[in-house]
Amino acid sequence: MLAQRSGTWRRQCKVAEVSVDGSAIAGRSAAALHELPGFRPGPIELWTPINTACRHAIAIVHRYAGAKLTIVDGIRVTTIPQTLFDTAMVIDPWRLERAMDDAIQSKKTSVHDLDERLTFYAESRRPGLPKIRPLIQKRTEDGWVPAESELEALLFVVLDKLPGRPRVTRQAPLPWRSSRPGRVDALLPEHRLIIEADGRRWHTRVKDFDRDQWRNNEAVAYGYGVLRFTWVHLNDFPSDVLDVISRTIDPATHRREPTDGDQHDRTVMLVPIGHPKASGTGGSCP
């Protein structure tokens, strides 16, 4: 059992990193070292070049070609874009998106750097690529903006699948008296739940964050919950959207066990596939 105190864990990371020439801390361990939200010290994950030995006494080893590396507190580690691509295959899209946005907004990385990794892996069959690709594409300056009608259509396809078919009011006026005119995309009155479909470009949403948060706070003050979904959520992860809404309106019957998206799972291993142009083949330990 690895010690979980931050100082001890970091020393263990350094021990693992120096024990294999050219290796680096990777995966969820790298995310914790980068202090990305939702990640904490846990089982150590180590990236090594594909021509190195596979087994390690204190770390889970992942081998693949073309990793991007950097240094954090004297420890060699995969870059934030590389780390996000590595963890995309083992965490849920909400956790991935939160980590990505935090890294961009805190200027730890950039959309350009993320796009470089996306281009590098574009022709591969890397696990997690279908999950991270739309999140990056949506955050580019010229990210595509869907027609409002198309976005709402996707939302109501999901709402029509809700268990019990709860009553849904489309384009409902704000359910409280407000000096600010406005409507919400969908209101589930019996559940006091507001659902919004947000088609704005990512950069616009960031600029409008304070205004949106104030409106959310107003809703909570009047006893309403708010769920907000983007085009990427509704188009690429509709089953996840349905699950979140279902658990919100009926948490007792939709309670789920924690998954790897919530915490480390020692039995799950990172098995990236190297870029097809890179020499050798990717692999993982048995």
Question: Residue 173 pLDDT more than 50?
Answer: yes
Q: What is the pLDDT of residue 142?
A: 62
- Strand-pair partners of 186: 170, 195
Q: What is the pLDDT of residue 204?
A: 60
> Using an 8 Å Cβ cutoff, are 176 and 149 in contact?
no
Contacts of 181 (CB under 8 A, 6+ apart): none
Task: List every span in the chain annotated with CATH 3.40.960.10.
Answer: 148-249
Question: Residue 176 pLDDT more than 90?
Answer: no
Task: Convert the pLDDT of each residue in 188-230 to its tens digit.
Answer: 999 999 999 887 666 566 667 777 788 888 899 999 999 999 8
Q: What is the pLDDT of residue 4?
A: 53
Question: Residue 283 pLDDT more than 90?
Answer: no
Report residue 10's pLDDT band, with 50, 70 and 90 as the boundaries.
Answer: very high
In angstroms, the Cα distances linking 197 to 6, 68, 185, 203, 228 are 40, 35, 7, 16, 6
Contacts of 172 (CB under 8 A, 6+ apart): 183, 184, 186, 187
> Using an 8 Å Cβ cutoff, are 50 and 63 in contact?
yes
Cβ atoms within 10 A of the Cβ of 70, count? 15
Selected residue with higher pLDDT from 2 and 123: 123
> Using an 8 Å Cβ cutoff, are 195 and 162 in contact?
no
Contacts of 93 (CB under 8 A, 6+ apart): 131, 135, 233, 236, 237, 240
In angstroms, the Cα distances linking 32 to 37, 38, 277 are 8, 8, 30
Question: Residue 49 pLDDT more than 80?
Answer: yes
* C-alpha–C-alpha distance, residues 100 and 107, integer Å: 11
Express as a percent the part of the chain with pLDDT over 90: 52
- Of the given ranges (34-48, 127-141, 177-191, 237-251), which has the lowest mean pLDDT? 177-191
Task: Convert the pLDDT of each residue in 243-277 to its tens digit.
Answer: 999 999 987 655 555 544 444 433 233 333 333 33
Q: N- to C-terminal Cα distance for the chain?
A: 20
Query: Could you give the angle at the alpha carbon of 193 between the alpha carbons of 191 and 194, nearest 5°?
Result: 155
Q: What is the pLDDT of residue 2?
A: 43
Report residue 44's pLDDT band, with 50, 70 and 90 as the boundaries.
Answer: very high
Question: Residue 152 pLDDT more than 50?
Answer: yes
Cβ atoms within 10 A of the Cβ of 31, count? 28
Question: Residue 285 pLDDT more than 80?
Answer: no
Q: What is the pLDDT of residue 124?
A: 93
> Using an 8 Å Cβ cutoff, are 78 and 272 in contact?
no
pLDDT, averaged across the chain: 82
Question: Residue 89 pLDDT more than 50?
Answer: yes
Question: Is domain 148-249 given the CATH code 3.40.50.410 in the classification?
Answer: no
* C-alpha–C-alpha distance, residues 26 and 48, integer Å: 9
Contacts of 131 (CB under 8 A, 6+ apart): 88, 89, 93, 96, 236, 237
The token duo for 119 is 């281009």
* C-alpha–C-alpha distance, residues 167 and 157, integer Å: 14
